[in-house]
Amino acid sequence: MNQEKVIVLDFGGQYNQLVARRVRECSVYCEIYSYRIDIEQIKAMNPKGIILTGGPNSCYQEDSPTYGKELFELGIPVLGLCYGAQLMMHILGGNVKCAPVREYGKTEVFVNPKTQLFEDITPKTVCWMSHNDYIESVAPGFEITAHTADCPVAAAENEKNKLYAIQFHPEVLHTEEGTKMIFNFVRKICGCSGSWRMDSFVEDSIRSIRDKVGDGKVLCALSGGVDSSVAAVLLSKAVGNQLTCVFVDHGLLRKNEGDEVEAVFGVNGAYELNFIRVNAQERFYQKLKGITEPEEKRKMIGEEFIRVFEEEAKKIGAVDFLVQGTIYPDVVESGLGGESAVIKSHHNVGGLPDCVDFKEIVEPLRNLFKDEVRKAGLELGIPEHLVFRQPFPGPGLGIRIIGEVTAEKVRIVQDADAIYREEIVNVGLDKSIGQYFAALTNMRSVGVMGDERTYDYAVALRAVNTVDFMTAEAAEVPFAVLQKVMGRIINEVNGVNRVVYDLTSKPPGTIEFE
C-alpha cells in the first residue's frame, strides 16, 4: 500500500494495538512492527513518524529490548511512550532509574501547552500512568514539557530533532486528552494529511483486488459473521460473478440465522455473486450423536465443516483464489506484526486452505481492526444487523449445549436465546454488553407447571462485559429484565422449567460453556 503511514515499534507493551488504533482514529494509516525490525526496512517504508510503545522491562538492564541510535537520526519524528520514552532518553544520554514512588493509575499531569505536542491541552490534565522506572534527567538537547507531583519528567522533547518522550500512556482512554496528543503528533508534528478513511480503503481495495484477481475464479467460505461478510462483499464489488461463496449451515446457528444470511447473499440479495448454501444440518446431528466431551465435539464440528466444504469445492473445481477473513489483530497476535505473540486458540476455518485447489490467498481485511471492518461494512452497504453482530463461535450452538447435541436441544437453545436477545435489545442493552447468549445445561430438574409435575432442562443465561474477550466480568443485567426473560422462556419454550443466570467471570470461567 503506497500511502503515508506511521509505524509503531512494539517493545512488548500491553497497549501496542491501542496505539495503532488511536493513530488510525486520526485518519492516519499505521502498522505495528517488532522492535527487532531492521533499520533498512524502516527506511524503505519511509514512514512519516515512528512511535515506540511501552514495555515491561527496564531499559538500563542488559538484554532489555533496545534499538540503535540511528533510529533517532533519520530525520523522522519519533514519539516514545513510557518504556519507549525511557529508552529514548537512555540511548541519547539521559538517565533512567527505578522510581522512589511508583506511579500507577489516573494522575494529574502539568503540561506546557505552548509546545506543539500539547497544543490545546489543558495545562493540568488527567493521564494514565503505569511505571516503576522514571526519567531522572533528560538527554542533552531535550527540554522538560510536563511533570507530575512525583515525576519530574512526565514529558520531554527535542523540538529541533523532532524527538518526543511521554512517560504516561496517551493511547489509553483514561488519559482524557490522549487522542488529542496523538493527533498533535501525527497530524501536526509528522505532517500527515489524514487521508486514511474507510471510503478510500474500500475504493483502493476494490481496485487492488481487481488488479490481483484479473479474470480469475474466487472462492469464499461465508459464515455470516462480520469478517467473512465484509470480505465477501468487497470481492463481490470487485469481481462480481467470478466470486462463489459457500455457506455451510451446520444446524448449529442461531434461530433463523441461516435464512438471514441467505436473504442478504442469496439470489434475492443485493450482491452479484454465486451463493451456495449447503444444508448440512442432519449430517452434523448424525455425526454428533453420542458425543459429550467438549473437545471431541469441537474437533468433530471443525472436521465435518472442512469435509462439507471440500465436497462443494470439488464440485466447483480448481479456483485461482481463496478468500480469508483475516484481520489485523490476527496478524499481530500470530506474531507476524508486533512483539506480543498470543497465539489464537480458536480457528474457525483452520485447515480450509488444504482442502481447496487454489493458487493464492486473498485477505482483503488483513490491515484492519475490527471496528474498521465494521466501518468498511457500513460503507459497503451491508445491513447493520450483520455488521454489528456479536461474536459467535465457529462450532456454534454445539458448544452452548452441554452434553450430547440433538436436534431437539438445538431447538430449545435457539428459542431461548432468541427470546433473551430480543429482550436485551428491547431495553437497549445490546450495544453496551460485550456478548450475551443462552446456553442449555445438561441438568434436568423437577418443577411444576399448572398442576403437572415436570422434569425438564435448565437454561443458563450469560452476559459479559469485556474489552478483549481474554478476560470478562458478568454484566449486571437488571433483575426485572432477567425475570421477564425467565417468564417468557418457561412459557414459550417447551422442555425448559428452570432459568439460571451465570455470574462467573473469566478467569476462572470462559465466556462460552465448552
Of residues 171, 177, 339, 514, which has the active-site annotation? Answer: 171
Residue of 105, 110, 112, 159 whose CA lies nearest to 131: 105
CB of 396 to ligand XMP, least distance (A): 9
In the bound complex, what is the minimum distance in angstroms from residue 345's beta carbon to ligand XMP?
7
Binding segment toward ligand XMP, per CB under 6 A, in 79-87, 199-207, 237-245, 387-395: 387-395
Choose the binding region for ligand XMP from 129-137, 226-234, 313-321, 393-401 (rule: CB under 6 A): 393-401
84, 71 contact by CB (below 8 A): no
Radius of gyration in angstroms for the set of CA atoms belonging to the chain, rounded to a whole number: 26
**Identity of the residue, 84 or 251, whose beta carbon is nearer to ligand XMP in the bound complex:** 251
Burial class (CB in 10 A: 0-12, 13-18, 19+), 60: middle
**Distance, CA of 197 to CA of 249 (rounded, Å):** 34
Among 13, 84, 394, 398, binds ligand XMP (CB under 6 A): 394
What's the closest the beta carbon of residue 511 comes to ligand XMP, in angstroms? 3
Site for ligand XMP in 211-230 (CB under 6 A): none
| Residue from 113, 152, 266, 391 in contact with ligand XMP (CB under 6 A) | 391
Shortest distance in whole angstroms from residue 217 CB to ligand XMP: 27
* Count, residues in the chain: 514
Segment interacting with ligand XMP, rule: CB under 6 A, options 68-76, 147-155, 272-280, 391-399: 391-399
- The neighbouring-strand residues paired with 137 are 95
- Is the Cβ of residue 178 or residue 395 nearer to ligand XMP in the bound state? 395
**Is 82 among the residues known to form the active site?**
yes
For residues 339 and 461, what is the distance between their CA atoms, to the nearest angstrom?
37
320/330 with CB nearer ligand XMP: 330
Q: State how far the Cα of 472 lies from the Cα of 259, in Å rounded to an integer.
A: 31
Q: Is residue 395 part of the contact set for ligand XMP (CB under 6 A)?
A: yes
Shortest Cβ 346–ligand XMP spacing (Å): 3
- The Cα–Cα gap between 155 and 116 comes to 12
Of 485-514, which residues contact ligand XMP (CB under 6 A)?
A: 506, 510-512
**Smallest gap from residue 353 Cβ to ligand XMP (A):** 17
The answer to whether residue 326 forms part of the interface with ligand XMP (CB under 6 A) is no
> C-beta of 202: minimal distance to ligand XMP in Å?
25
Burial degree of 506 (CB within 10 A; 0-12, 13-18, 19+): middle
Q: Is 220 a catalytic residue?
A: no
CB of 476 to ligand XMP, least distance (A): 19
435 is a site residue for ligand XMP (CB under 6 A): yes
Spatial CA neighbour of 368 closest among 415, 328, 410: 328
Contact 52, 80 (CB under 8 A): yes
Measured from the CB atom, the residue of 54 and 258 that comes closer to ligand XMP is 258
The three grid cell numbers given for residue 116, joined into one nine-digit string: 506543539
The residues with which 462 forms a beta bridge, in sequence order, are 437
In angstroms, the Cα distances linking 68 to 35, 36, 74, 139 are 10, 10, 11, 16
Alpha-carbon gap, residue 183 to 174, rounded angstroms: 16
**CA distance to 228, 289, 347, 409, 439, per residue, from 405 (Å):** 26, 7, 21, 6, 12
Interaction of residue 348 with ligand XMP, rule CB under 6 A: yes
Q: Does 393 bind ligand XMP (CB under 6 A)?
A: yes
Q: Which is nearer to ligand XMP, 29 or 284 (CB)?
A: 284
Indicate whether 469 belongs to the interface with ligand XMP (CB under 6 A): yes
Q: Which stretch binds ligand XMP (CB under 6 A): 15-23, 25-33, 311-319, 388-396?
A: 388-396
Quick check: 346 binds ligand XMP (CB under 6 A)?
Answer: yes
Cell of 409: 436441544
Q: Which is nearer to ligand XMP, 12 or 398 (CB)?
A: 398
| Residue 468 CA neighbour count, 13 Å, CB half | 11
Q: H or E element: which one contains 103?
A: strand 95-111
Would you name the residues annotated as active-site residues? 82, 169, 171
Binding site for ligand XMP (CB under 6 A): 346, 348, 391, 393-395, 435, 469, 506, 510-512
